Amino acid sequence: MSKQILILIISAKLLMILPANSQDILMEETVITDTTIPESGPNMKNYNHTFIGIGFALGPDSLGSNINYGKSFAFSFGYRYKAKINNFYALGIDLQYQLNSFSLKQDSTKLFPNDSLHDKEKVKFHNLSLGFYNRFNYGKRGNYIGNFVDIGMEIELPFLVAHITKDELKEANENNGKAIKTRTTKLDYIEPYNYSAYARIGFNRYVLSASYRLSRLFTSDPKHYSQYNNGINKYPELPALSIGLEIGIY
């Protein structure tokens, strides 16, 4: 009888120990999985994605360099990196290609790039830009971009600037053509770089953006303007402000 009681006691203790050991193993495995925090993701330590954007010139133009608003636009495609500092603040870099196209108004006050009038005339700036921004997050979010405000600066390198004119002829010219299109590049009067301040308000992948150029587009070298004999020593500036929409690709 005493042996049977001893066996029952030992068996009971074994039954109590085995489930406890099994539970310890299960909990250990679960904890390891749950505490493995990824470092890359929309709201993680590091994140990068591409984006596209379109905008329009809205700032005031200058007499002599007046533009056609609505026909003067900007297009961009780029790469964006974000480093999360805490839940409310992040730092980032923008690297992008920008096309800024200005449609020039044709009237008697025109000076840029000369006083000749055409059916259509535009100047296109093809830029590479590098920007640095501060991001301020607001509102609740999971592992997604969420709502934010960006404030930053960028430097723009115009690797190609083209002056384009188009004219329709009433009668065929000496080449038996009724349309003339010119495209002039390697323009001497363009500054080698520009810099701008920008701000963005983002709602996940959709972003409202505004950029303001802080530097001049055109040089003030007198030799570029002496041919006009009108006393100018620099071109009137094109609008510095543009406002647009960006869409994140992720």
Is the domain of 111 the same as that of 28?
no
Is the domain of 151 the same as that of 231?
yes
Q: What is the average pLDDT across 185-204?
A: 96
Give 199-223 pLDDT, tens digit per residue: 999 999 999 999 999 999 999 877 7
Peptide bond into 236 cis (omega under 30): no
Is the domain of 229 the same as that of 142?
yes
**Which one is predicted more confidently, 171 or 208?**
208
Is the domain of 139 the same as that of 21?
no
Is the domain of 76 the same as that of 164?
yes
Is the domain of 120 the same as that of 19?
no
Asked whether residue 34 carries a pLDDT value surpassing 90, the answer given is: no
Distance CA 85, CA 103 (A): 42
Is the domain of 11 the same as that of 51?
no
- Candidates 13, 20, 84, 62; CA nearest to 216 is 62
Is the domain of 10 the same as that of 121?
no
Is the domain of 18 the same as that of 53?
no
Is the domain of 75 the same as that of 24?
no
- What is the value of pTM for the model shown? 0.80
Is the domain of 32 the same as that of 49?
no
Instruction: Read off the CATH number of the domain in which 154 is found.
Output: 2.40.160
Q: What is the pLDDT of residue 38?
A: 64
Asked whether residue 142 carries a pLDDT value surpassing 50, the answer given is: yes
Is the domain of 48 the same as that of 156?
yes
- Candidates 204, 208, 211, 212; CA nearest to 245 is 208
Average pLDDT, the chain: 86
Containing domain of residue 54, as a range? 41-249
* Tally of structural domains, the chain: 2
Give 62-79 pLDDT, tens digit per residue: 999 999 999 999 999 999
